[in-house]
Amino acid sequence: MNSRDISMAGIGEVRDDYVPASDYFSQEFAELENELLWPRVWQMACREQDIPEVGDFYTYDIVDESIIVVRTAPDEVKAFFNVCPHRGNRLTADCGHVQRFRCSFHGWQFNLDGTPNQVVDRTDWGDKLPDEDITLSPVKVGRWAGWIYINMDPDCEPFETFLGPAIAAHEPLQMDGLRYHWKKSAVVPCNWKTVLGMFNEAYHLQATHSQMLPYWDDYTASYARGRHSMFRYEDTLPPGLPSKRLGKSPEDVDIRQGLADYIKDMDKTLKTSEAVLMVDAVDRLVEEVPREAEPLEVLMKLAQFTMEDLAAKGIDGPVLTPEQIAEVGSDWHIFPNHIMISSANAVLAYRARPNGHDPDSAIWDVYSLLRYPKGKEPEVEQEWCNDLADEDAWPLVLRQDFANMAGIQKGMKSRGFKGARTNPKQEIPVSHLHRMLREFMGV
């Protein structure tokens, strides 16, 4: 790589308040990621729920690679490069169930553990085709909180080392008990880091989602956590009270009604997260709690009513301490491309992947997970919803985010744009990703 390539690739200094623009659109930077990031980093492939039975497989595609994730025993998951060792054909697509993997080209078959099961006319090779030559190439597997991660690098760091502080922060949530509420994906018109960075901070809330301000005080503080990062609401009014940006006196606002408006609105406009589980309980606030109750008391009552309602429905989630809530915060970004907005009984998760080699295109996966009564988990199919303005496919809040996407990707290429001036308090997850990318790739 010559010096022009390097400057094109934007290998400049990242600061908390600056990210080189070309990270987001240069072909050279994308190719660096394809060589030095994706083949070496732990990345979320699917959830345990995607492959519940022995023989169930999930095909995880990333740039030019494809990985088969397969359940080989009730509590054993293995992964392989998705390629037939005979002539290189792909063995699987999407997900499904098999006794053995079978190549459609010449009918070679492989056991779930990757060993060859049948080679048509194998005697033609004499003794020149030992099993070790034609066993599927293994890929490492890491399992955490119901998520299944893979790593193509046989010499990668241990999965637990990679997750680092994310493990302790998420442990109290018992996230492995959550199940899909819905699962949607789309091809989006921007770089994978562009879309990731749009969902990795709450600074945009006051402009992009301003309908939330009457019941949501929106100032966040954000922090690096090893290679990962998180943000949380700090020095804010309790939920249900208006954003300080609106200049309203909180005493004039009925927090009981504010909470009801917030929960019902989020249930309608985001269709995910804890609000979905609170709609049936929230009306009790106005009915049973006096108007003059202190905000803390109102919130405690809401927690109590919600727990009673969920318990009556057979949902038995963890009770988190204030310290645990503070550490899991509002949102965690797991390097490089997995986001989780978590609470005791719900997670809204995202994953961004490059769409092939095009730096202006990405695949955006959205996962709504909820805690369900045992045996009442819905059957959820993966949906592809590429029309980002489709009101039936995507809830309002996500459509509001999507509406910014193409403009950002195009605008960052302008000769008038000098690089992203990220907010050094509220947008650390955005800048930190780029700093960590450079460190991880060694560029």
Q: Site residues (CB under 5 A) for Fe ion?
A: 401
Whichever of 23 and 401 has its CB closer to Fe ion, that residue is 401
Q: Is the CB of 66 or the CB of 269 nearer to Fe ion? A: 269
Cα separation, 273 vs 270, whole angstroms: 8
Q: Tell me whether residue 301 or residue 333 sits nearer to Fe ion (CB atom).
A: 333
- What's the rounded Cα separation, in Å, for the pair 439 and 335? 12
Give the residue with the Cβ less far from Fe ion, 399 or 435: 399
Q: Of 327 and 401, which has the nearer Cβ to Fe ion?
A: 401
Helix spans in 199-333 (H) = 205-208, 255-269, 275-288, 295-312, 322-328
Output the smallest distance, CB 208 to Fe ion, in A: 5
Name, in order, each residue with C-beta under 8 angstroms of 197's C-beta and a sequence gap of 6 or more.
427, 429, 430, 433
The minimum distance between CB 397 and Fe ion, in angstroms, equals 6
Q: Of 338, 331, 328, 363, whose CA–CA distance to 42 is shortest?
A: 338
CB-nearer residue toward Fe ion: 306 or 426: 426
Q: Which residue has the tokens 């744009």?
A: 417
For the bound state, the minimum distance from the C-beta of residue 408 to Fe ion, rounded and expressed in Å, comes to 12
Instruction: Give the helix ranges, DSSP H, for 132-254.
Output: 159-163, 165-170, 192-198, 205-208
Contact 81, 66 (CB under 8 A): yes
Please give the Cα distance from 339 to 195 (Å, whole number): 11
- Determine the Cα–Cα distance for residues 365 and 34; give it in Å rounded to an integer: 19
Q: How far is the CB of 394 from Fe ion (least distance, A)?
A: 12
Is residue 194 within 8 Å of 401, Cβ to Cβ?
Answer: no
d(CA 191, CA 201): 17
Q: Pick the closer one to Fe ion by CB: 237 or 398.
A: 398
| SS3 state at 211 | helix
Instruction: Find the shortest distance in angstroms from Cβ 204 to Fe ion.
Output: 6
Nearer Cβ to Fe ion (95/385):
385
Contacts of residue 127, defined as CB under 8 A and 6 or more positions apart, other chains included, come to none
Residue nearest to Fe ion (CB): 401
**Residue 42 has which token pair?**
């732990």
Q: How far is the CB of 199 from Fe ion (least distance, A)?
A: 6
Q: How far apart are the first and last CA of the chain?
A: 11
CB of 382 to Fe ion, least distance (A): 23
Min dist CB 210 to Fe ion, Å, is 11
Q: How far is residue 70 CA from its own chain's centroid?
A: 21
